[in-house]
Structure 1
Amino acid sequence: MRIVACLNGDRRPGAHPALPVSPDQLTSDARAVVDAGADEIHIHPRDARGAESLEPQVLTPLMKALRAAIPGVPISVTTALSAEPDPWRRYDLVQRWGEMPDTATVNLHEPGSVEIARLLIDRRVGVEAGLATPDSARILAATGLAADVVAALVEPTQVTTKDALANASTIDAVLDRAHIELPRMLHGADDTAWPLLDAAAAAGRDLRIGLEGTMRGPDGNEVDNNAALIATAVERTAATRAHAPGACGLHPAHHHLHRALPGPHRTRRARIRGRTTAPRPVRQLKGNARWRASLRA
Structure 2
Amino acid sequence: MRIVACLNGDRRPGAHPALPVSVDQVVADAHAVVAAGATEIHVHPRNSSGAESLEPQVVAPLMERLQAEGPGVPVSLTTSLSAEADPWRRYDLVQRWAASALPDSVTVNLHEAGSVDLIRLLEDRRIGVEAGVWTVEAARILVATGLEAAAVLVEPTQVAVEDARRNADAILSLLDRAGVDRPRMLHGADATAWPVLEAAVSEGYDIRMGLEDTMRLPDGEEAHDNAALVAQAVNLASAAA
Structure 1 residue ranges without an equivalent (≥5): 242-297
Q: Which has the larger radius of gyration?
A: 1
| C-alpha separation in 2, matches of 1:64 and 1:97 | 12
Partner of 2:117: 115
The match for 2:190 is 190
TM-score of the aligned structures, taking structure 1 as reference length: 0.80
SS at match of 1:220: coil
* Correspondent of 2:140 among 126, 138, 142: 138
5+ unaligned residues in a row in structure 2: which ranges? none
Q: Which amino acid in structure 2 is aligned with residue 8 of structure 1? A: N
Q: 2:134–2:156: 8 Å Cα contact kept in structure 1? A: yes
In structure 2, what residue type is equivalent to 1:144? G
Q: Which amino acid aligns with 1:29?
A: D
Give the AA of the match of 1:25.
Q
User: Which residue does the alignment assign to 1:78?
Assistant: 78
RMSD: 0.7
Inter-partner Cα distance in structure 2 for 1:196 and 1:118: 30
How far is 1:236 from its partner?
A: 1.3
What is the distance in 2 between the residues matched to 1:77 and 1:83?
11
Residue-pair matches, total: 239
The correspondence of residues 140-219 of structure 1 with structure 2, limited to 5 A, is 140-145=142-147, 148-219=148-219
Distance 2:72 2:22 in 1: 22
Distance 2:162 2:54 in 1: 34
Deviation at 1:71, TM superposition (A): 4.7
- SS of alignment partner, residue 153 of structure 1: strand
Q: CA deviation at 1:72?
A: 3.0
Distance between the aligned counterparts of 1:71 and 1:227, measured in 2? 14
Deviations 1:15-64 (A, max 9, x none): 00000000000000001001110000000000000000000000001001
Identity across matched positions, percent: 67
Look up the match of 2:29.
29
Secondary structure in 2 aligned to 1:76? strand
Deviation at 1:70, TM superposition (A): 2.5
The aligned amino acid for 1:164 is A
* Deviation at residue 69 of structure 1 after TM alignment: 2.5
In the alignment, the residues of structure 2 paired with residue 68 and residue 231 of structure 1 have an alpha-carbon distance, to the nearest angstrom, of: 25
Deviating 4+ runs (over 4 angstroms): none
Amino acid of the structure 2 residue aligned with 1:81: L
